[in-house]
Amino acid sequence: MGDFNHPDISWEDHRARHIQSRRFLQSIDDNFLMQVVEEPTRKGTLLDLVLTNKEGLVEDVKVGDRLSCSDHEMVEFRILSGGSRAISRIKPLDFRRANFDLFKELLGGIPWDRALEGRGVQELWLLFKNHFLHAQERCIPLSKKSSKGGRRPAWMSKELLAEIRWKRKVHGMWKEGQATWEEYRNVVRACRDAMRKAKVHLELNLTRDVKDNKKGFFSYISSKWKIRDNVGLLLKEVGILVMEGAEKAELLNAFFASAFSAKAGPQESQALEVREEAHREDEFPLVEQDCVRDCLSNLDAH
């Protein structure tokens, strides 16, 4: 990253006016780099760049305040490290191969009236759980997880996956001298353009069909949130800020517990007194049977 001082470059359409800037763009393409900063960093122009050779390596790019006397905005970003991932040994259930007819037959053949008679709540639950798990073990097989793990992005299609595999294959051929550098560069550019178009196409479809597919829309939005904010500062009744995690937990626990206790706080007791005075001052309205019948007859059933 750094200040490359190319204000005439339009990073949206990848074009530039000056020859030196066009050479810079050509150098980025020749080395298979991507620029991830999207906001201006100095007086409305984008000068400070962050370049990466792998998509998804740099995330959460933010342009913030200035540092000291500099006239450039600060650029904050997060680099994802390739740490080891924990391997889950829990095998999920394969409901596609499940035999639900046998499952219903096993549970339906149990005389539940006699089996559950005269038992406590805990005994009832354990008995039902054992029968249910036994039927599940017989009727629903387990599936195997892929060793590579991870979910594919929503925009990843079979055609795009084939292009990515072809790009990796051409890269190996280029390393072994079986393909030229120009051929590999063209494959990389075509694959990158296809990935960008797939993302844009997915986002357009989600925004267009948001009324009919709200679950898919918000699921895609949630997948973009890489950082979850922690609990902020809390304020005690005496006006003291709470910053430590243990103190925050105790304060929140006391607040939630107060909702189930008989003791009311000063604000709640004051509100109760106001409502009681209002009820004492105003008499309850008298509702007659004819009035209720008229209101019911005027209701719109649809």
Q: How far apart are the first and last CA of the chain?
A: 63
Taking only Cα atoms into account, the Rg of the chain, rounded to an integer number of angstroms, comes to 32
Residue 110, classified by CB atoms within 10 Å of its CB into exposed (0-12), middle (13-18) or buried (19+), is middle
Read off the pLDDT of residues 159-207 as tens digits, 9 standing for 90 and up: 888 898 999 898 889 888 888 888 888 988 888 888 888 988 988 988 8
Residue 66 · residue 42 · CB < 8 Å:
no
What is the C-alpha separation between 188 and 170, in angstroms, rounded?
9
At residue 151, the 3 state secondary structure works out as coil
What is the C-alpha separation between 123 and 134, in angstroms, rounded?
17
Averaged pLDDT, 128-136: 92
Give the chain's count of helices (H) and strands (E): 10, 8
pTM of the model: 0.39
What is the C-alpha separation between 279 and 273, in angstroms, rounded?
10
Q: Which pLDDT score is estimated for 217? A: 85
What is the C-alpha separation between 9 and 21, in angstroms, rounded?
7
Read off the pLDDT of residues 272-300 as tens digits, 9 standing for 90 and up: 455 555 555 455 566 677 877 787 777 76
DSSP structural state of residue 10: B
Averaged pLDDT, 115-123: 86
Q: Which pLDDT score is estimated for 85? A: 56
Read off the pLDDT of residues 218-269 as tens digits, 9 standing for 90 and up: 888 877 765 555 667 777 777 788 878 788 888 888 877 777 665 545 445 4
Q: Which pLDDT score is estimated for 149? A: 47
Amino acid at 99: N
Q: Give how far Cα 41 sits from Cα of 10, 37, 70, Å.
A: 14, 9, 11
Helices 181-208 & 214-223 angle (0-180, nearest 10): 130
Q: Which pLDDT score is estimated for 105? A: 92
What is the C-alpha separation between 81 and 292, in angstroms, rounded?
69
What is the C-alpha separation between 70 and 277, in angstroms, rounded?
63
Mean pLDDT value across the chain: 78
Read off the pLDDT of residues 145-154 as tens digits, 9 standing for 90 and up: 654 445 677 8
What is the C-alpha separation between 4 and 10, in angstroms, rounded?
14
Residue 40 · residue 64 · CB < 8 Å:
no
Q: Which pLDDT score is estimated for 249? A: 81
What is the C-alpha separation between 281 and 251, in angstroms, rounded?
38
